[in-house]
Structure 1
Amino acid sequence: VRDVEDGRETDIQAGVVVNCTGVWTDELQRLSGSRGRFRVRASKGVHVVVPRDRIVAETGVILRTEKSVLFVIPWRNHWIVGTTDTDWNLDLAHPAATRNDIDYILGHVNKVLATPLTHDDIEGVYAGLRPLLAGESEETSKLSREHAVARVAPGLVAIAGGKYTTYRVMARDAVDAAVVDLPGRPPSSITDKVPLLGADGYHALVNQADHLAMQHGLHPYRVRHLLDRYGSLVHEVLQAAEGRPELLRPLEHAPDYLAAEAVYAASHEGALHLEDVLARRTRISIEYPHRGVACAEQVARLMGEVLGWSDPMITREVDVYTARVEAERDSQAQPSDEAADARRSSAPEARARLIEPVG
């Protein structure tokens, strides 16, 4: 296994390996030298994010289109509107939204809105890939959204398909298939009884939100926001600010988040690059029109305190992230997948040692 951060390679031995790599499933199956039991096709889904006040509604909306389903989902101070469902055969690491994708979403949602949305209303755009179980010639909208598990070879189990909403069932099925190759008789899965991190004690803390707010000098709504993000792990986040009251202040250009959250992402959540915080541990990259660029330096300096970054390293992280955002914006103005992919792929990688796909 190669560490893409520093290039180090480590030999790992295991009785069973589970291939749960989503749209990269076929590439990993080829490494085993076997044909595999199923194939995966990547389907691109695009969503746009608009401010909450742009749509006058109290609940979400589900619309049927000629190709798929369109959702209008309330999310914090925003609405998420999507999605598309189209084949994607280009860079799997960076699926790119096009102008046509965005026009498709706006065109369909505007059919039911009293005040139409425009491109100027959009705060953020994101694209992802669904790993659909493939037949020989089906369009992606007709491919299975269910998951499948297969014993590809002795000691190698593959799982593909499925959705985030069924991840626990998927994990149980994959592990149940994997333990067949292990000695002994492992106990039955209890995943349906194991709470998520932060779930234990969450409801009691919600009742104590006002007390927590007073204790830390925060507004109660701020504590409730932290509880919604971290659950009972909120104490770890607040602990990062002990003796440093400035970390309990909002980020200058992303005021929905505290400075302590950027520190916590680097110290507790494995964030190693600026994009990890702005696009993954938080959703700043799609919640603000500046896409995270305006607060990039502040967040990089907060992370740098934890990760030991020098000034040149901080500058590089900010420059790489800024180039990523510029490439994404440009790709979203392109008419075709090929043009959008070319523009998005031109941005530098935060992880410079990313390896090429398996041939």
Structure 2
Amino acid sequence: LEQPLTHADVEGVYAGLRPLLSGESESTSKLSREHAVAHPVPGLVVVAGGKYTTYRVMAKDAVDAAVHGLDAKVPDSVTEKVPLLGAEGFKALLNARHRLAAEHGLHVARIEHLLSRYGSMIDEVLALVDEDPTLGEPLAGAPDYLRAEIVYAASHEGARHLEDVLARRTRISIETFDRGVGSVEEAARLLAPVLGWSDEQVEREKEHYRKRVDAERESQKMPDDETADAARMGAPEVVPLQFLATPRPARAIAPQRKAQ
């Protein structure tokens, strides 16, 4: 390269282990990416090998193996034909991305980003923007994401902590140079009213996330996996939000307990 890359240019790294089936070749690149289904003991089905992109095929084979010995007739699996959440109507919405952009006051690139993440569920995200136009603005520290996506993570996707949003509902923790630290303040403020956080809980959430990033960075200086894992676990779990309920008559409480 005319401008050589350095460590400082690295924005994010994806790394992991491939669950490959063992073979005669010592080169992992030559081992099969296929999976195998086995019954090591009666009643237990194990899937070995495979890859993320074929998880539905793996699931079908595992279920078929599990029901093979049942006395009852079980219909054939159709999992590979069931559209994923957000798949229905996706192509039509993608074709209408310019219209959606004009209707909601967003750049077409933003609509394409949301479609790639939510598919036809994009209407739920855009509804948040229509209700509060400030949610259509870029998130501080991670401008590839909209502020609405942070709110949506808590209101629709079950996120309960700041870490849930930055590290799991979005890819901010691995797509930004600072691992999402620059988004902590704004993201926490957006989540607070949705999750009913007090000022104290907001501070706990921010402190926990920063300590999590520090622990990850420290783990990457360790010489082996064992010490790296120990360093990574150095960040204590965030103190869970406590809900206080006022006393209610027994009939009113019973359904709630059942739901929990």
TM-score w.r.t. structure 2 length?
0.81
1:46 aligns with none
Task: Report the CA distance shift for 1:316/1:160 in structure 2 as closer, same or farther (over 3 A).
Answer: farther
Q: Is the 8 A contact 1:132 1:140 kept in 2?
A: no
1:341 aligns with 229
Amino acid in the other structure paired with 1:342: A
Match of residue 243, structure 1, among 131, 145, 148 = 131
Paired with 1:119 and 1:217, the residues of 2 have a C-alpha distance of: 38
* Deviation string, structure 1 residues 151-170 (Cα, Å, up to 9, x no partner): 34444322232110211110
1:203 aligns with 91
Task: Report the CA distance shift for 1:156/1:205 in structure 2 as closer, same or farther (over 3 A).
Answer: same
Match of residue 273, structure 1, among 153, 161, 173 = 161
Q: CA offset at residue 172 of structure 1?
A: 0.7
2:35 aligns with 147
SS for the counterpart of 1:328 is: helix
TM-score w.r.t. structure 1 length?
0.60
2:193 aligns with 305
2:248 aligns with none
Q: Is the 8 A contact 1:267 1:306 kept in 2?
A: yes
Amino acid in the other structure paired with 1:296: V
2:213 matches 1:317:
no
> Which sits farther off after the overlay, 252-261 or 124-133?
124-133
Q: Which has the higher contact order (CA 8 A, sep 6+)?
A: 1
Larger Rg: 2
Percent identity between the aligned chains? 63
Paired with 1:332 and 1:127, the residues of 2 have a C-alpha distance of: 12
Higher helix share: 2
Higher strand share: 1
Task: Report the CA distance shift for 1:267/1:156 in structure 2 as closer, same or farther (over 3 A).
Answer: farther
| Count of aligned positions | 239
Paired with 1:309 and 1:340, the residues of 2 have a C-alpha distance of: 32
Q: Is the 8 A contact 1:168 1:191 kept in 2?
A: yes
SS for the counterpart of 1:289 is: coil
Q: CA offset at residue 223 of structure 1?
A: 0.8
2:214 aligns with 326
Unpaired stretches in structure 2, ≥5 consecutive residues: 241-260
Indicate the RMSD between aligned Cα atoms, in angstroms.
2.6
Amino acid in the other structure paired with 2:112: R
Match of residue 68, structure 2, among 180, 198, 213 = 180
SS for the counterpart of 1:241 is: helix
Q: CA offset at residue 271 of structure 1?
A: 1.7
1:231 aligns with 119
Paired with 1:337 and 1:139, the residues of 2 have a C-alpha distance of: 22
* Deviation string, structure 1 residues 221-275 (Cα, Å, up to 9, x no partner): 1111111111111001112334211111111221111111111111222222222
2:250 aligns with none
Paired with 1:269 and 1:178, the residues of 2 have a C-alpha distance of: 30
1:116 aligns with 4
Paired with 2:15 and 2:237, the residues of 1 have a C-alpha distance of: 18
2:101 aligns with 213
1:70 aligns with none
